[in-house]
């Protein structure tokens, strides 16, 4: 007589083996590889691109042009794609110095590497990136030349000096000093007529250290537009100021200038008795 109980048991056992086999294959197929990045280095051609000063806290990581994720460095993270892959690592910045506004810096080229990723493998990557070759450097000021490229408001109580007491890099940096009887400072770049107004990105990069908040923005012909207030910093800080919206909104402008300045008023007096600002590596950059 045919034993249905035996057949049922054998069938159930075979289904269990098949299910375990499929689950095992699926698990093995999704074992990730791991990528480890401590930092992103940056290099320039100093003669044409200025200083290699940078502030790149994040890595935007792509595999075969698909975004894997954005990682604050240092970071080690899994990737499910294995085998031969193209890895791209883009530098990420704090847009306008704001920690909550992370952005891929579109003026930097990515680090590109071909990798054969194996499950459970750990790949330590040491990326170095550069400016995109199409970037234009409309203004470069590193204070190393004989003359300085600033204009001043007619009521400004002081100017930008070369100084060696607190230098970011090189032999000199810029210094702005206001004594107790001074209450206003404002400097600008020269006027530019060639900035893009077609939606292309425009940034003002600078290193600064200050005991007094100072504003940065633009002049559109004679009208002033503030963009970012640089807060007190005890250490040298690199900032990327996004001027894209301000520049692109000025479609009828003949001239645009970058400005930075500060003023003490009855309603908003200086926080320091002797405001002191150090600046270096100023760059107005765009495509």
**pLDDT tens digits in sequence order for the chain, 287 residues long:** 555 455 544 444 444 444 444 444 454 558 999 999 999 999 999 999 999 999 999 999 999 999 999 999 999 999 999 999 999 999 999 999 999 999 999 999 999 999 999 999 999 999 999 999 999 999 999 999 999 999 999 999 999 999 999 999 999 999 999 999 999 999 999 999 999 988 999 999 999 999 999 999 999 998 999 999 999 999 999 999 999 999 999 888 889 999 999 999 999 999 999 999 999 999 999 99
Segments making up each domain of the chain, as ranges: 33-129, 136-286
pLDDT of residue 269: 98
Residue 245, burial from CB neighbour count under 10 angstroms (0-12, 13-18, 19+): exposed
- The 3-class SS string of 207-262 reads EEEECCCEEEEEEECCEEEEEEEECCEEEEEEEEEECHHHHHHCCCCCCEEEEEEE
pTM of the model: 0.89
Closest C-alpha to 189, from 141, 252, 225: 141
pLDDT of residue 12: 46
pLDDT of residue 15: 47
Q: Note the CATH architecture for domain 33-129.
A: Sandwich (2.60)
CA dihedral (143, 144, 147, 148) in degrees, to 10, reads -10
Quote the CA–CA distance of 174 and 102 in Å, as a whole number: 28
Any idea what the Cα angle at residue 203 is, between residues 198 and 206, rounded to 5°?
165
The token pair at 256 is 């645009």
Task: Report the CATH number of the 136-286 domain.
Answer: 2.60.120.260
Contact 55, 95 (CB under 8 A): no
pLDDT of residue 252: 83
pLDDT of residue 142: 98
Quote the CA–CA distance of 163 and 175 in Å, as a whole number: 6
Any idea what the Cα angle at residue 216 is, between residues 287 and 58, rounded to 5°?
60
């Amino acid at each position: 007589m045919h034993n249905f109980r035996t057949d049922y048991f054998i069938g159930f056992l075979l289904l269990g083996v098949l299910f375990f086999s499929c689950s095992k294959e699926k698990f093995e197929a999704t074992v990730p590889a791991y990528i480890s990045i401590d930092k992103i280095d940056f290099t320039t051609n100093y003669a044409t691109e200025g200083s290699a000063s940078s502030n790149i806290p994040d890595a935007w990581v792509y595999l075969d042009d698909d975004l894997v994720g954005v990682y604050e460095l240092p970071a080690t993270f899994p990737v499910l794609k294995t085998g031969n892959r193209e890895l791209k690592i883009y530098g990420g910045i704090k847009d306008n110095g704001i920690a909550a506004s992370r952005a891929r810096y579109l003026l930097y080229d990515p680090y590109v590497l071909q990798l054969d990723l194996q499950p459970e493998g750990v790949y330590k990557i040491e990326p170095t990136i550069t400016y995109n070759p199409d970037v234009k450097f409309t203004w470069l000021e590193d204070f190393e030349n004989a003359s300085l490229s600033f204009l001043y408001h007619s009521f400004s109580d002081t100017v930008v000096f070369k100084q060696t007491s607190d230098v970011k890099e090189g032999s000199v940096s810029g210094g702005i000093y206001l004594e107790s009887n001074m209450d206003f400072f404002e400097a600008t770049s020269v006027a530019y007529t060639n900035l893009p107004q077609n939606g292309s990105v425009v940034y003002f990069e600078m290193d600064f250290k200050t005991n007094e908040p100072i504003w940065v923005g633009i002049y559109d012909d004679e009208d002033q537009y503030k963009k970012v207030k640089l807060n007190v910093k005890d250490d040298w800080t690199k900032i990327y100021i996004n001027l894209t919206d301000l520049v692109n909104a000025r479609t009828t402008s003949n001239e645009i200038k970058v400005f930075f300045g500060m003023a003490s008023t009855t309603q908003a007096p200086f926080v320091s008795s002797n405001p002191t600002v150090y600046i270096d590596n100023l760059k107005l950059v765009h495509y």
